[in-house]
Structure 1
Amino acid sequence: MKISISMYSLNATVQKEKWTTIDFIEYAKSISLDGVELLDIYWKDNDKDNEIKQVTEALRKYNLSVSAYDVTNNFVKESSEERAQEVKKIQDGIQVAKQLGTNIVRVFCGDLHDDLTYEDGQKWIVEGLKNCAETAEKEQIYLAIENHGLLAGKSEQVEEIIQKVGSPYVKSTFDTGNFLLVHEKPQQAFDRLKKDIVHVHFKDFREKDPSETVNGFRSTEGVELIGTVPGDGQVDLAYIVEGLKAINYDGWLSIEYEGFEDAKVSNEEAVQRLRNLLK
Protein backbone atom coordinates (compact mmCIF):
# COMPACT_ATOMS: atom_id res chain seq x y z
CA MET A 1 0.00 0.00 0.00
CA LYS A 2 1.14 3.52 -0.80
CA ILE A 3 0.73 6.70 1.25
CA SER A 4 -0.51 10.06 0.01
CA ILE A 5 -1.98 13.19 1.56
CA SER A 6 -5.04 15.03 0.34
CA MET A 7 -4.40 18.69 -0.42
CA TYR A 8 -7.53 19.36 1.65
CA SER A 9 -5.66 17.88 4.62
CA LEU A 10 -3.42 20.98 4.46
CA ASN A 11 -6.31 23.37 3.76
CA ALA A 12 -5.53 25.63 6.73
CA THR A 13 -1.95 26.04 5.47
CA VAL A 14 -3.08 26.39 1.85
CA GLN A 15 -5.33 29.31 2.84
CA LYS A 16 -2.93 30.94 5.30
CA GLU A 17 0.20 30.71 3.14
CA LYS A 18 -1.60 31.08 -0.21
CA TRP A 19 -0.24 27.78 -1.50
CA THR A 20 -0.64 26.75 -5.10
CA THR A 21 -1.02 23.10 -6.02
CA ILE A 22 2.68 23.07 -6.90
CA ASP A 23 3.55 24.38 -3.42
CA PHE A 24 1.61 21.45 -1.99
CA ILE A 25 3.42 19.00 -4.27
CA GLU A 26 6.79 20.39 -3.14
CA TYR A 27 5.71 19.95 0.49
CA ALA A 28 4.65 16.36 -0.18
CA LYS A 29 8.07 15.63 -1.67
CA SER A 30 9.80 17.18 1.36
CA ILE A 31 8.17 14.64 3.70
CA SER A 32 8.90 11.69 1.37
CA LEU A 33 5.35 10.78 0.36
CA ASP A 34 4.53 8.38 -2.45
CA GLY A 35 1.83 10.61 -3.88
CA VAL A 36 -0.72 13.39 -3.53
CA GLU A 37 -4.50 13.63 -3.72
CA LEU A 38 -5.61 16.68 -5.71
CA LEU A 39 -8.97 18.49 -5.75
CA ASP A 40 -10.94 20.46 -8.29
CA ILE A 41 -11.59 23.27 -5.79
CA TYR A 42 -7.98 24.47 -5.88
CA TRP A 43 -7.63 25.29 -9.58
CA LYS A 44 -7.56 28.91 -10.67
CA ASP A 45 -10.64 29.16 -12.88
CA ASN A 46 -9.08 31.54 -15.38
CA ASP A 47 -5.97 29.45 -16.04
CA LYS A 48 -6.88 25.84 -15.30
CA ASP A 49 -5.38 24.23 -18.42
CA ASN A 50 -2.00 25.90 -17.98
CA GLU A 51 -1.99 25.09 -14.27
CA ILE A 52 -2.69 21.39 -14.96
CA LYS A 53 0.25 21.38 -17.37
CA GLN A 54 2.54 22.92 -14.72
CA VAL A 55 1.30 20.43 -12.13
CA THR A 56 2.01 17.42 -14.35
CA GLU A 57 5.53 18.76 -14.92
CA ALA A 58 6.03 19.16 -11.16
CA LEU A 59 4.79 15.61 -10.53
CA ARG A 60 7.36 14.28 -13.00
CA LYS A 61 10.10 16.46 -11.51
CA TYR A 62 9.48 15.19 -7.99
CA ASN A 63 8.59 11.63 -9.01
CA LEU A 64 5.20 11.74 -7.30
CA SER A 65 1.96 10.04 -8.35
CA VAL A 66 -1.60 11.28 -7.97
CA SER A 67 -3.57 8.91 -5.74
CA ALA A 68 -6.92 10.38 -6.75
CA TYR A 69 -8.48 13.45 -8.31
CA ASP A 70 -11.43 14.75 -6.28
CA VAL A 71 -14.53 16.20 -7.89
CA THR A 72 -16.85 18.20 -5.63
CA ASN A 73 -20.24 17.29 -7.07
CA ASN A 74 -23.81 17.12 -5.77
CA PHE A 75 -26.51 15.12 -7.58
CA VAL A 76 -29.25 16.09 -5.15
CA LYS A 77 -30.64 18.97 -7.20
CA GLU A 78 -34.31 19.37 -8.07
CA SER A 79 -33.90 20.32 -11.74
CA SER A 80 -32.65 18.01 -14.48
CA GLU A 81 -30.56 20.90 -15.86
CA GLU A 82 -28.70 21.27 -12.58
CA ARG A 83 -28.10 17.53 -12.35
CA ALA A 84 -26.79 17.50 -15.92
CA GLN A 85 -24.24 20.12 -14.88
CA GLU A 86 -23.06 17.80 -12.10
CA VAL A 87 -22.66 14.95 -14.60
CA LYS A 88 -20.59 17.25 -16.82
CA LYS A 89 -18.44 18.17 -13.82
CA ILE A 90 -17.53 14.51 -13.26
CA GLN A 91 -17.03 13.82 -16.96
CA ASP A 92 -14.59 16.75 -17.07
CA GLY A 93 -12.94 15.38 -13.93
CA ILE A 94 -12.35 12.06 -15.66
CA GLN A 95 -10.39 13.85 -18.38
CA VAL A 96 -8.35 15.78 -15.81
CA ALA A 97 -7.61 12.53 -13.97
CA LYS A 98 -6.24 11.08 -17.21
CA GLN A 99 -3.95 14.09 -17.59
CA LEU A 100 -2.76 13.69 -14.00
CA GLY A 101 -2.09 9.98 -14.47
CA THR A 102 -4.57 8.61 -11.93
CA ASN A 103 -7.38 6.11 -12.52
CA ILE A 104 -9.38 7.24 -9.46
CA VAL A 105 -11.89 10.09 -9.38
CA ARG A 106 -13.35 10.68 -5.93
CA VAL A 107 -17.03 11.62 -6.20
CA PHE A 108 -19.81 12.60 -3.81
CA CYS A 109 -23.48 11.66 -3.90
CA GLY A 110 -25.04 14.89 -2.67
CA ASP A 111 -26.05 17.03 0.27
CA LEU A 112 -29.17 17.02 2.39
CA HIS A 113 -31.20 20.22 2.31
CA ASP A 114 -34.65 21.34 3.37
CA ASP A 115 -36.76 18.24 4.14
CA LEU A 116 -35.06 15.89 1.69
CA THR A 117 -34.12 12.40 2.81
CA TYR A 118 -31.69 9.83 1.43
CA GLU A 119 -34.66 8.05 -0.14
CA ASP A 120 -35.68 11.27 -1.91
CA GLY A 121 -32.25 11.84 -3.38
CA GLN A 122 -31.24 8.27 -4.19
CA LYS A 123 -32.86 8.12 -7.64
CA TRP A 124 -31.04 11.31 -8.70
CA ILE A 125 -27.73 9.97 -7.37
CA VAL A 126 -28.08 6.63 -9.17
CA GLU A 127 -29.21 8.30 -12.40
CA GLY A 128 -26.27 10.72 -12.32
CA LEU A 129 -23.68 8.04 -11.58
CA LYS A 130 -25.07 5.80 -14.33
CA ASN A 131 -24.58 8.63 -16.81
CA CYS A 132 -21.03 9.25 -15.56
CA ALA A 133 -20.21 5.53 -15.55
CA GLU A 134 -20.54 5.40 -19.33
CA THR A 135 -17.55 7.76 -19.62
CA ALA A 136 -15.70 6.08 -16.75
CA GLU A 137 -15.95 2.66 -18.36
CA LYS A 138 -14.75 4.01 -21.71
CA GLU A 139 -11.73 5.69 -20.10
CA GLN A 140 -11.17 2.94 -17.49
CA ILE A 141 -11.32 5.43 -14.63
CA TYR A 142 -12.92 4.43 -11.30
CA LEU A 143 -15.57 6.70 -9.80
CA ALA A 144 -14.99 6.19 -6.09
CA ILE A 145 -17.94 7.29 -3.94
CA GLU A 146 -16.88 8.86 -0.65
CA ASN A 147 -19.13 8.28 2.36
CA HIS A 148 -19.34 12.02 2.82
CA GLY A 149 -21.53 14.13 5.08
CA LEU A 150 -24.95 12.95 6.13
CA LEU A 151 -26.30 11.77 2.76
CA ALA A 152 -25.14 8.34 1.62
CA GLY A 153 -22.85 8.42 4.62
CA LYS A 154 -23.76 4.92 5.80
CA SER A 155 -22.04 1.87 4.37
CA GLU A 156 -25.35 0.22 3.45
CA GLN A 157 -26.32 3.34 1.46
CA VAL A 158 -22.99 3.41 -0.40
CA GLU A 159 -23.29 -0.33 -1.09
CA GLU A 160 -26.88 0.06 -2.33
CA ILE A 161 -25.94 2.89 -4.70
CA ILE A 162 -22.99 0.93 -6.10
CA GLN A 163 -25.26 -2.06 -6.69
CA LYS A 164 -28.00 0.02 -8.32
CA VAL A 165 -25.55 1.77 -10.66
CA GLY A 166 -24.18 -1.65 -11.59
CA SER A 167 -20.87 -0.60 -13.13
CA PRO A 168 -17.49 -2.23 -12.46
CA TYR A 169 -16.06 1.30 -12.46
CA VAL A 170 -18.23 2.71 -9.66
CA LYS A 171 -16.68 1.79 -6.33
CA SER A 172 -15.86 3.19 -2.85
CA THR A 173 -13.56 5.82 -1.42
CA PHE A 174 -13.61 4.44 2.12
CA ASP A 175 -13.36 7.38 4.54
CA THR A 176 -12.45 5.89 7.90
CA GLY A 177 -13.70 8.86 9.93
CA ASN A 178 -16.91 9.95 8.25
CA PHE A 179 -18.89 6.90 9.39
CA LEU A 180 -18.77 8.33 12.92
CA LEU A 181 -20.92 11.25 11.72
CA VAL A 182 -23.75 8.82 10.98
CA HIS A 183 -23.10 6.74 14.12
CA GLU A 184 -21.76 3.70 12.33
CA LYS A 185 -18.68 1.87 13.56
CA PRO A 186 -15.95 2.14 10.90
CA GLN A 187 -14.97 -1.51 11.47
CA GLN A 188 -18.47 -2.70 10.57
CA ALA A 189 -18.56 -0.37 7.58
CA PHE A 190 -15.25 -1.78 6.39
CA ASP A 191 -16.53 -5.35 6.61
CA ARG A 192 -19.52 -4.39 4.46
CA LEU A 193 -17.65 -2.37 1.81
CA LYS A 194 -14.24 -4.03 1.62
CA LYS A 195 -15.00 -5.74 -1.70
CA ASP A 196 -15.72 -2.34 -3.28
CA ILE A 197 -12.83 -0.25 -1.92
CA VAL A 198 -10.49 1.30 -4.50
CA HIS A 199 -9.31 4.30 -2.44
CA VAL A 200 -9.02 5.04 1.29
CA HIS A 201 -9.17 8.27 3.29
CA PHE A 202 -7.20 7.80 6.50
CA LYS A 203 -9.09 10.06 8.96
CA ASP A 204 -10.10 10.23 12.62
CA PHE A 205 -12.52 12.17 14.85
CA ARG A 206 -13.03 12.64 18.59
CA GLU A 207 -15.95 14.07 20.52
CA LYS A 208 -15.75 17.78 21.27
CA ASP A 209 -14.84 18.70 24.84
CA PRO A 210 -17.42 21.02 26.48
CA SER A 211 -14.67 23.55 27.20
CA GLU A 212 -13.69 23.91 23.54
CA THR A 213 -14.88 26.94 21.58
CA VAL A 214 -14.15 25.67 18.04
CA ASN A 215 -16.96 24.45 15.80
CA GLY A 216 -16.71 20.81 14.82
CA PHE A 217 -18.79 18.55 12.60
CA ARG A 218 -22.30 17.78 13.86
CA SER A 219 -23.49 14.18 13.53
CA THR A 220 -26.96 12.98 12.57
CA GLU A 221 -27.77 12.81 16.30
CA GLY A 222 -26.31 16.23 17.11
CA VAL A 223 -23.00 15.06 18.56
CA GLU A 224 -20.16 17.44 17.71
CA LEU A 225 -16.96 15.81 16.48
CA ILE A 226 -13.51 17.34 16.07
CA GLY A 227 -10.93 16.19 13.53
CA THR A 228 -7.79 14.76 15.09
CA VAL A 229 -4.55 13.07 14.14
CA PRO A 230 -5.37 9.49 13.17
CA GLY A 231 -4.96 7.33 16.24
CA ASP A 232 -6.11 10.00 18.72
CA GLY A 233 -9.81 9.54 18.04
CA GLN A 234 -12.50 6.87 17.89
CA VAL A 235 -11.50 4.98 14.72
CA ASP A 236 -9.84 1.58 15.10
CA LEU A 237 -7.36 2.24 12.31
CA ALA A 238 -5.31 -0.87 13.02
CA TYR A 239 -8.39 -3.02 12.35
CA ILE A 240 -8.89 -1.37 8.99
CA VAL A 241 -5.23 -1.54 7.95
CA GLU A 242 -5.04 -5.21 8.91
CA GLY A 243 -8.28 -5.83 7.03
CA LEU A 244 -6.84 -4.17 3.93
CA LYS A 245 -3.77 -6.38 4.20
CA ALA A 246 -6.01 -9.44 4.47
CA ILE A 247 -7.79 -8.63 1.20
CA ASN A 248 -4.47 -7.81 -0.50
CA TYR A 249 -5.43 -4.19 -1.10
CA ASP A 250 -2.54 -2.60 -2.97
CA GLY A 251 -3.99 0.87 -3.55
CA TRP A 252 -3.59 4.22 -1.83
CA LEU A 253 -4.08 5.28 1.77
CA SER A 254 -4.60 9.03 1.64
CA ILE A 255 -4.43 11.06 4.83
CA GLU A 256 -7.20 13.62 5.33
CA TYR A 257 -6.77 15.66 8.52
CA GLU A 258 -9.65 17.97 9.47
CA GLY A 259 -8.60 19.24 12.89
CA PHE A 260 -7.55 22.60 14.30
CA GLU A 261 -3.94 21.93 15.27
CA ASP A 262 -1.01 22.90 13.04
CA ALA A 263 -1.75 21.14 9.74
CA LYS A 264 1.87 20.42 8.83
CA VAL A 265 2.74 18.96 12.23
CA SER A 266 -0.48 16.93 12.34
CA ASN A 267 -0.08 15.51 8.85
CA GLU A 268 3.54 14.58 9.40
CA GLU A 269 2.57 12.74 12.59
CA ALA A 270 -0.23 10.99 10.69
CA VAL A 271 2.23 9.85 8.00
CA GLN A 272 4.54 8.38 10.62
CA ARG A 273 1.71 6.56 12.37
CA LEU A 274 0.43 5.13 9.12
CA ARG A 275 3.90 3.94 8.16
CA ASN A 276 4.15 2.16 11.51
CA LEU A 277 0.80 0.44 10.94
CA LEU A 278 1.91 -0.75 7.52
CA LYS A 279 5.09 -2.44 8.82
Structure 2
Amino acid sequence: MKLSVSIWSVHEKVYNKEMDNIDFISFCHDNGVKYVELLDNFLSPDKIKDLKRKLKEYSMEISSYSINNDFIQKNEVDRRKQVRYIKESIDIARDLNAKFIRVFSGNEKTGIAFEDAKQWIIDGFKAVVPYAEKNAITLVIENHGLFVGKSDQVKELIKAVNSPNFKSNADVANFLLADEKPLDAVKNLKDHIGFVHFKDFKELPAGSNGYKSLSGKIYQGTVLGKGEVPLKEIIQFLNDNGYKGFLSIEYEGMGDPIIDTKESIEFTESIIL
Protein backbone atom coordinates (compact mmCIF):
# COMPACT_ATOMS: atom_id res chain seq x y z
CA MET A 1 0.00 0.00 0.00
CA LYS A 2 1.09 3.55 -0.70
CA LEU A 3 1.05 6.19 2.04
CA SER A 4 -0.47 9.54 1.11
CA VAL A 5 -1.55 12.59 3.08
CA SER A 6 -4.46 14.85 2.21
CA ILE A 7 -3.95 18.58 2.39
CA TRP A 8 -7.27 18.64 4.26
CA SER A 9 -5.24 17.44 7.26
CA VAL A 10 -3.77 20.96 7.49
CA HIS A 11 -6.72 22.91 6.08
CA GLU A 12 -6.73 25.24 9.07
CA LYS A 13 -3.21 26.38 8.15
CA VAL A 14 -4.20 26.81 4.49
CA TYR A 15 -7.31 28.85 5.30
CA ASN A 16 -5.23 31.06 7.61
CA LYS A 17 -2.67 31.63 4.81
CA GLU A 18 0.06 29.99 6.91
CA MET A 19 0.56 27.21 4.36
CA ASP A 20 -0.07 26.65 0.67
CA ASN A 21 0.23 23.64 -1.65
CA ILE A 22 3.99 24.08 -2.04
CA ASP A 23 4.46 24.27 1.73
CA PHE A 24 2.31 21.19 2.17
CA ILE A 25 4.29 19.22 -0.40
CA SER A 26 7.51 20.20 1.37
CA PHE A 27 6.00 19.18 4.73
CA CYS A 28 5.13 15.74 3.36
CA HIS A 29 8.58 15.35 1.76
CA ASP A 30 10.26 16.24 5.04
CA ASN A 31 8.22 13.52 6.74
CA GLY A 32 9.02 10.81 4.21
CA VAL A 33 5.68 10.85 2.37
CA LYS A 34 5.88 10.46 -1.43
CA TYR A 35 2.20 10.99 -2.32
CA VAL A 36 -0.09 13.94 -1.64
CA GLU A 37 -3.83 14.42 -2.05
CA LEU A 38 -4.75 17.93 -3.21
CA LEU A 39 -8.11 19.75 -3.11
CA ASP A 40 -9.47 21.88 -5.90
CA ASN A 41 -10.62 24.67 -3.57
CA PHE A 42 -6.98 25.18 -2.54
CA LEU A 43 -5.54 25.07 -6.07
CA SER A 44 -4.90 28.20 -8.11
CA PRO A 45 -4.48 27.61 -11.87
CA ASP A 46 -1.60 30.08 -11.99
CA LYS A 47 0.31 28.03 -9.40
CA ILE A 48 0.08 24.65 -11.15
CA LYS A 49 3.45 25.01 -12.92
CA ASP A 50 5.20 25.79 -9.63
CA LEU A 51 3.43 22.87 -7.98
CA LYS A 52 4.47 20.43 -10.71
CA ARG A 53 8.04 21.71 -10.52
CA LYS A 54 8.16 21.09 -6.77
CA LEU A 55 6.72 17.58 -7.15
CA LYS A 56 9.37 16.77 -9.76
CA GLU A 57 12.12 18.19 -7.56
CA TYR A 58 11.09 15.88 -4.71
CA SER A 59 10.18 12.88 -6.94
CA MET A 60 6.66 12.98 -5.50
CA GLU A 61 3.25 12.32 -7.05
CA ILE A 62 -0.36 13.30 -6.52
CA SER A 63 -2.45 10.43 -5.19
CA SER A 64 -5.81 12.11 -5.78
CA TYR A 65 -7.26 15.41 -6.90
CA SER A 66 -10.30 15.91 -4.69
CA ILE A 67 -13.28 18.05 -5.70
CA ASN A 68 -16.55 19.25 -4.17
CA ASN A 69 -19.27 18.47 -6.69
CA ASP A 70 -22.96 18.37 -5.68
CA PHE A 71 -25.61 16.77 -7.88
CA ILE A 72 -28.47 17.64 -5.51
CA GLN A 73 -29.72 20.59 -7.56
CA LYS A 74 -33.38 21.24 -8.36
CA ASN A 75 -32.54 22.94 -11.64
CA GLU A 76 -31.39 20.67 -14.47
CA VAL A 77 -29.14 23.44 -15.77
CA ASP A 78 -27.31 23.44 -12.44
CA ARG A 79 -26.89 19.67 -12.58
CA ARG A 80 -25.38 20.02 -16.06
CA LYS A 81 -22.96 22.57 -14.62
CA GLN A 82 -21.84 19.92 -12.13
CA VAL A 83 -21.18 17.50 -14.98
CA ARG A 84 -19.09 20.15 -16.72
CA TYR A 85 -17.26 20.88 -13.45
CA ILE A 86 -16.24 17.23 -13.08
CA LYS A 87 -15.11 17.03 -16.70
CA GLU A 88 -13.00 20.15 -16.24
CA SER A 89 -11.57 18.58 -13.07
CA ILE A 90 -10.63 15.48 -15.07
CA ASP A 91 -8.63 17.74 -17.39
CA ILE A 92 -6.81 19.25 -14.41
CA ALA A 93 -6.15 15.84 -12.86
CA ARG A 94 -4.69 14.62 -16.14
CA ASP A 95 -2.41 17.67 -16.28
CA LEU A 96 -1.27 16.90 -12.72
CA ASN A 97 -0.69 13.22 -13.57
CA ALA A 98 -3.25 12.23 -10.92
CA LYS A 99 -5.14 9.00 -11.62
CA PHE A 100 -7.93 9.49 -9.06
CA ILE A 101 -10.50 12.18 -8.38
CA ARG A 102 -12.42 12.08 -5.10
CA VAL A 103 -16.06 13.00 -5.74
CA PHE A 104 -19.16 13.56 -3.61
CA SER A 105 -22.81 12.78 -4.23
CA GLY A 106 -24.31 15.99 -2.87
CA ASN A 107 -25.87 17.56 0.18
CA GLU A 108 -29.42 17.12 1.45
CA LYS A 109 -31.62 20.13 0.72
CA THR A 110 -35.10 21.14 1.85
CA GLY A 111 -37.84 20.36 -0.62
CA ILE A 112 -35.98 17.68 -2.57
CA ALA A 113 -37.28 14.12 -2.36
CA PHE A 114 -34.77 11.42 -1.49
CA GLU A 115 -35.55 9.28 -4.54
CA ASP A 116 -35.27 12.26 -6.90
CA ALA A 117 -31.87 13.09 -5.45
CA LYS A 118 -30.67 9.49 -5.82
CA GLN A 119 -31.58 9.48 -9.50
CA TRP A 120 -29.86 12.81 -10.13
CA ILE A 121 -26.68 11.41 -8.57
CA ILE A 122 -26.79 8.30 -10.75
CA ASP A 123 -27.57 10.28 -13.91
CA GLY A 124 -24.83 12.80 -13.16
CA PHE A 125 -22.11 10.21 -12.78
CA LYS A 126 -23.31 8.23 -15.78
CA ALA A 127 -22.86 11.42 -17.79
CA VAL A 128 -19.22 11.87 -16.75
CA VAL A 129 -17.78 8.34 -16.56
CA PRO A 130 -17.24 8.02 -20.33
CA TYR A 131 -14.97 11.08 -20.15
CA ALA A 132 -13.17 9.62 -17.13
CA GLU A 133 -12.66 6.34 -18.98
CA LYS A 134 -11.34 8.17 -22.04
CA ASN A 135 -8.78 9.99 -19.89
CA ALA A 136 -7.81 7.02 -17.69
CA ILE A 137 -9.07 8.75 -14.54
CA THR A 138 -10.94 6.86 -11.83
CA LEU A 139 -13.65 8.73 -9.93
CA VAL A 140 -13.84 7.56 -6.31
CA ILE A 141 -17.05 8.34 -4.45
CA GLU A 142 -16.64 9.14 -0.75
CA ASN A 143 -19.07 7.72 1.79
CA HIS A 144 -20.35 11.06 3.00
CA GLY A 145 -23.76 12.47 3.82
CA LEU A 146 -27.30 11.13 3.62
CA PHE A 147 -27.25 9.63 0.13
CA VAL A 148 -24.07 7.52 0.18
CA GLY A 149 -23.06 7.47 3.85
CA LYS A 150 -23.56 3.73 4.26
CA SER A 151 -21.56 1.05 2.50
CA ASP A 152 -24.70 -0.48 0.96
CA GLN A 153 -25.57 2.93 -0.52
CA VAL A 154 -22.09 3.25 -1.98
CA LYS A 155 -22.30 -0.23 -3.45
CA GLU A 156 -25.75 0.48 -4.93
CA LEU A 157 -24.48 3.66 -6.60
CA ILE A 158 -21.38 1.98 -8.00
CA LYS A 159 -23.45 -0.81 -9.48
CA ALA A 160 -25.94 1.68 -10.97
CA VAL A 161 -23.20 3.77 -12.62
CA ASN A 162 -21.54 0.56 -13.82
CA SER A 163 -18.11 1.76 -14.90
CA PRO A 164 -14.62 0.38 -14.15
CA ASN A 165 -13.62 4.02 -13.59
CA PHE A 166 -16.14 4.63 -10.79
CA LYS A 167 -15.19 3.14 -7.43
CA SER A 168 -15.34 3.71 -3.69
CA ASN A 169 -13.20 6.13 -1.73
CA ALA A 170 -13.64 4.29 1.56
CA ASP A 171 -13.42 6.91 4.30
CA VAL A 172 -13.00 4.56 7.23
CA ALA A 173 -14.07 7.02 9.96
CA ASN A 174 -17.08 8.44 8.12
CA PHE A 175 -18.82 5.07 8.42
CA LEU A 176 -19.25 5.80 12.13
CA LEU A 177 -21.42 8.78 11.18
CA ALA A 178 -23.72 6.35 9.37
CA ASP A 179 -23.78 4.14 12.51
CA GLU A 180 -21.83 1.46 10.68
CA LYS A 181 -18.81 -0.41 11.97
CA PRO A 182 -15.85 0.68 9.82
CA LEU A 183 -14.33 -2.78 9.37
CA ASP A 184 -17.70 -4.29 8.42
CA ALA A 185 -18.23 -1.49 5.90
CA VAL A 186 -14.81 -2.01 4.33
CA LYS A 187 -15.51 -5.74 4.08
CA ASN A 188 -18.82 -4.97 2.38
CA LEU A 189 -17.06 -2.79 -0.20
CA LYS A 190 -13.98 -4.96 -0.69
CA ASP A 191 -14.60 -5.52 -4.41
CA HIS A 192 -15.22 -1.83 -5.12
CA ILE A 193 -12.52 0.11 -3.23
CA GLY A 194 -10.29 2.29 -5.40
CA PHE A 195 -8.95 4.66 -2.74
CA VAL A 196 -8.92 4.89 1.06
CA HIS A 197 -9.18 7.88 3.38
CA PHE A 198 -7.34 6.85 6.51
CA LYS A 199 -8.91 8.70 9.42
CA ASP A 200 -9.85 8.22 13.07
CA PHE A 201 -12.74 9.44 15.24
CA LYS A 202 -13.53 9.22 18.93
CA GLU A 203 -16.99 9.43 20.49
CA LEU A 204 -17.75 12.41 22.73
CA PRO A 205 -20.38 12.80 25.45
CA ALA A 206 -23.90 13.77 24.35
CA GLY A 207 -24.25 17.52 23.91
CA SER A 208 -20.63 18.03 22.81
CA ASN A 209 -19.66 19.85 19.63
CA GLY A 210 -18.60 17.58 16.81
CA TYR A 211 -19.87 15.45 13.94
CA LYS A 212 -23.31 13.95 14.61
CA SER A 213 -24.14 10.43 13.46
CA LEU A 214 -27.54 9.40 12.13
CA SER A 215 -28.47 8.10 15.58
CA GLY A 216 -27.27 11.26 17.32
CA LYS A 217 -23.88 10.12 18.59
CA ILE A 218 -21.20 12.84 18.59
CA TYR A 219 -17.74 12.21 17.16
CA GLN A 220 -14.56 14.25 16.87
CA GLY A 221 -11.49 13.66 14.75
CA THR A 222 -8.33 12.52 16.50
CA VAL A 223 -4.74 11.50 15.82
CA LEU A 224 -4.76 8.19 13.98
CA GLY A 225 -4.61 5.28 16.40
CA LYS A 226 -6.19 7.21 19.27
CA GLY A 227 -9.82 6.81 18.26
CA GLU A 228 -12.34 4.05 17.72
CA VAL A 229 -11.62 3.04 14.12
CA PRO A 230 -9.84 -0.37 14.02
CA LEU A 231 -7.15 0.88 11.66
CA LYS A 232 -4.76 -2.07 12.09
CA GLU A 233 -7.51 -4.57 11.37
CA ILE A 234 -8.63 -2.59 8.32
CA ILE A 235 -5.10 -2.57 6.90
CA GLN A 236 -4.77 -6.30 7.52
CA PHE A 237 -8.08 -6.98 5.75
CA LEU A 238 -7.20 -4.78 2.79
CA ASN A 239 -3.82 -6.45 2.49
CA ASP A 240 -5.31 -9.92 2.68
CA ASN A 241 -7.71 -8.99 -0.12
CA GLY A 242 -5.01 -7.67 -2.44
CA TYR A 243 -5.48 -3.91 -2.05
CA LYS A 244 -2.27 -2.21 -3.23
CA GLY A 245 -3.59 1.34 -3.55
CA PHE A 246 -3.38 4.52 -1.53
CA LEU A 247 -4.00 5.09 2.16
CA SER A 248 -4.46 8.85 2.33
CA ILE A 249 -4.28 10.27 5.85
CA GLU A 250 -7.01 12.80 6.55
CA TYR A 251 -6.54 14.24 10.02
CA GLU A 252 -9.62 16.09 11.32
CA GLY A 253 -8.79 16.61 14.99
CA MET A 254 -8.80 19.75 17.10
CA GLY A 255 -5.11 19.83 17.96
CA ASP A 256 -2.16 21.36 16.15
CA PRO A 257 -2.54 20.00 12.60
CA ILE A 258 1.20 19.89 11.95
CA ILE A 259 2.09 18.00 15.13
CA ASP A 260 -0.93 15.69 14.92
CA THR A 261 -0.50 14.94 11.23
CA LYS A 262 3.15 14.05 11.86
CA GLU A 263 2.05 11.68 14.62
CA SER A 264 -0.59 10.21 12.32
CA ILE A 265 2.07 9.61 9.63
CA GLU A 266 4.30 7.86 12.15
CA PHE A 267 1.45 5.67 13.37
CA THR A 268 0.41 4.69 9.86
CA GLU A 269 3.99 3.88 8.88
CA SER A 270 4.20 1.60 11.91
CA ILE A 271 1.22 -0.53 10.81
CA ILE A 272 1.23 -0.27 7.02
CA LEU A 273 1.84 -3.49 5.11
With normalisation by structure 1, the TM-score equals 0.94
Q: Note the alpha carbon deviations across 1:122-141, whole angstroms, 9 max, x for none.
A: 10000000011010111111
- List per-residue Cα deviations over 1:149-184 (Å, max 9, x = no partner): 333110000100000011111001110000100101
Unaligned 5+ runs, structure 2: none
Say whether residues 1:243 and 2:237 are aligned partners: yes
Unaligned runs of 5+ in 1: none
Structure 1's 115 and 238: CA in aligned 2 closer, same or farther, altered over 3 A?
Answer: farther
From the superposition, tell whether residues 53 and 192 of structure 1 become closer, same or farther in structure 2 (CA, over 3 Å).
same
* 1:18 positional shift: 3.0
Aligned to 1:29: 29
Report matched runs for 1:244-259 at 5 Å: 244-259=238-253
How far apart, CA to CA, are the structure 1 residues paired with 2:88 and 2:162? 21
Q: Would the aligned equivalents of 1:71 and 1:89 in 2 still touch at CA under 8 Å?
A: no
Q: How does 1:17-96 map to 2 (within 5 A)?
A: 17-44=17-44, 48=45, 50-96=46-92
- The answer to whether residue 151 in structure 2 is matched with residue 155 in structure 1 is yes
Shift of 1:116: 4.1
- Aligned twin of 1:231: 225
Residue 199 of structure 1 is aligned with which of 195, 198, 223? 195
From 133, 142, 145, the equivalent of 1:146 is 142
Shift of 1:35: 0.8
Secondary structure of the 1:74 match is coil
For 1:111, what is the secondary structure of its paired residue? coil
Paired with 1:224 and 1:120, the residues of 2 have a C-alpha distance of: 29
Within the candidate set 93, 96, 100, 1:100 is matched to 96
Shift of 1:23: 1.2
1:82-126, CA deviations, whole angstroms, 9 ceiling, x for partnerless residues?
111111111111111111111101100111122545433110000
Inter-partner Cα distance in structure 1 for 2:87 and 2:203: 37
**1:195 aligned counterpart, secondary structure:** coil
Contact 2:206 2:217 in 1 (8 A): no
Equivalent of 2:186 in 167, 179, 190: 190
1:17 is displaced (CA, Å) by 4.4
Classify 1:109/1:131 alpha carbon distance in 2 versus 1 (closer, same or farther; 3 Å): same
User: Does residue 127 of structure 1 match 2:148?
Assistant: no
The list of structure 1 runs, each at least 4 consecutive aligned residues, that deviate by more than 6 angstroms after superposition, is none
The 10-residue stretch of structure 1 (7-16 or 193-202) with the greater mean CA deviation from structure 2: 7-16
Number of equivalent positions:
273
Assess, with a 3 A threshold, how the Cα gap between structure 1 residues 92 and 208 changes in structure 2: closer, same or farther: same
Q: Report the Cα distance in structure 2 between the residues aligned to 1:110 and 1:133, rounded to whole angstroms.
A: 17
Identity %: 38
Q: Deviations for 1:165-217, whole angstroms, at most 9, x for unmatched residues?
A: 111110011100001001011111111111111110001111124696xx311
1:12 maps to 2:12: yes
1:265 alignment partner in structure 2: 259
